[in-house]
Amino acid sequence: MNTDHTKIKLHGFNNLTKTLSVNFYNICYAHTPADQQDYLCHIDEAYSTKRLQQVLCEVVDIIGADILNMSAYDYEPRGSSVACLIAEEPVLPTAVTAGLHVSKQDKAVQQSTVAHLDKSHVTAHTYPESHPDDGINTIRVDMDISTCGEVSPLDALDYLIEAFNEDVVILDYRIRGFTRDTLGQKHYTDHGIASIQDFLSEETKHQYRMMDMNVLQTNTFHTRMKRLDFRLGDHLFGGCAHRFQKDELTALETRLKKEMDEIYFGASPLSNQAQ
């Protein structure tokens, strides 16, 4: 494995595809149907088109690319889509192309963002979920950064985690294909990596419990993260703690932690799976 891609003299373009997939989960409790409706309105604002555009622009800047064009569309009653065309090298304004056409059939997706980086792309989608019987609400944000050439999606990792600041984070990183040096030798990676954690700051590592499931032989890496600092008040939407007795708050804390653990471990209790 070559750990310094700058020392590889390539034959032509770097054909490796490096893909980082990030799933963010935020979990909260909304007590009444009215609270749940307010929560959906809050999600529309907190994970709006404008917010996703800002995050995408920062990601593009961090990985060293340039924006060609960005277009956005907001759905009714809620939901939005954004398209951003980007390139690895600076381009003249005359090279800007048309934006992405968004179909009305895409209303099933609450919010989405997509960016193209030459042969690569950056995408973001949000999936709000609530259960009317138990008041547990979850917002999932999916982001994919897939790059070719010199740019690396791992450069944006710490920024993304800090920008969303969510309860559970699921990371997948894979290097696909191969590239050749001037002697014709194939290289299946252009940088050293044993774990995604290698590319996280110490500050981020101290904030999360983490576990890895990696397959080094296939350059496939998987890391799960769960925030260590749990404060019940941060997970009660609308500051509704005053509505409950102490034992009810204890029960709510148990339910919320259980929800996070199930997402973190990717498994629900056997009794639920059998139903």
Query: Strand 80-87 to strand 168-176: parallel, antiparallel, or no bridges (unpaired)?
Result: unpaired
CA nearest to 260, candidates 236, 226, 212, 213: 226
Report the C-alpha gap between 110 and 108 in whole angstroms: 6
271 given a catalytic annotation: no
- State how beta strands 17-29 and 120-130 pair: unpaired
Among the residues of the chain, which ranges form H helices?
33-46, 49-62, 157-164, 202-207, 246-265, 270-273
Burial class (CB in 10 A: 0-12, 13-18, 19+), 256: buried
Q: Which of 28, 116, 148, 235 is catalytic?
A: 148
Q: In angstroms, rounded to a whole number, what is the distance separating the alpha carbons of residues 211 and 216?
A: 15
Name, in order, each residue with C-beta under 8 angstroms of 97's C-beta and a sequence gap of 6 or more: 68, 69, 85
Q: Quick check: is 148 catalytic?
A: yes
Instruction: Please classify residue 57 by burial: count the beta carbons closer than 10 Å to its beta carbon, then call 0-12 exposed, 13-18 middle and 19+ buried.
Output: middle
**Helix runs in 171-245, H state only:** 202-207
Catalytic site residue from 48, 80, 112, 120: 120
DSSP helix/strand/coil, 221: strand
Query: Which residues have a catalytic role annotated?
Result: 120, 125, 148
